[in-house]
Amino acid sequence: MTDLCFTNLSPISYYTTGGMNMVYNRARAVAYARRWAFSRNPAYYDFSYIGGDCTNFASQCIFAGAGVMNYRPVTGWFYRSVSDRTPSWTGVEQLYDFLVSNRGAGPQGRVVPLREIRPGDIVQLQLDGRGRFDHAPVVVDAGRGTPDTVLIAAHTIDSLYRPLSTYSYTALRPIHIFNVG
């Protein structure tokens, strides 16, 4: 298998059908985040100018660590092209819904206290105070599990090793990836 952090991770050429209880490769997810934090993988569309690219980037990082997509129409989690993808690949709330309810192929997650977050997980942020989460950075360093020590990578406003505390948010939702089905 090629080293994902130095190649173009293609959604078509790299995936497996999955098996139960596969290990989420956090090092690969973080390496991918580091590689692409300030640029765009040409295998994926850049959504920066049509709503933001944060969840697309988070999904790419999670895929780098999981190696498995879920091709269930509508409610799965996959990307083949800009016009052949699920809402969960690019939508903050939809990614949350997929991760916490998925019992099939692909990554599975659960909400945990920030102190339990690990590299390769995501922390969804509510930025506007209107009750919905609208940003999904990827954890690259969990530090001591506090907003000052958790460091993230993100797209839309490209960031790498940015402390979580530098965001102005009204709520956060740490999601720990615990399994790949």
CATH 1.10.3470 fits 26-180, yes or no: no
Please state, in angstroms and as integers, the Cα–Cα distance from residue 86 to each residue in 32, 70, 104, 139, following that order. Answer: 21, 9, 15, 23
**Is pLDDT at 113 greater than 50 in this prediction?**
yes
Asked whether residue 153 carries a pLDDT value surpassing 50, the answer given is yes
CA 54/CA 157 separation, integer angstroms: 8
Instruction: Locate 123 and state its tokens.
Output: 């922390």
* Angstrom distance (rounded) from CA 181 to CA 64: 15
Domain boundaries, the chain: 26-180
The pLDDT tens digits of the residues spanning 11-70 come to 433 333 444 568 999 999 999 999 999 999 999 999 999 999 999 999 999 999 999 999
Distance CA 25, CA 65 (A): 4
Q: Which residues touch 179 (CB under 8 Å, ≥6 apart)?
A: 21, 22, 24, 107, 108
Question: What is the pTM assigned to this prediction?
Answer: 0.89
Counting every residue written for the chain, the total comes to 181
Locate 71 and state its tokens: 């091709």
Q: Is the pLDDT of residue 109 over 70?
A: yes
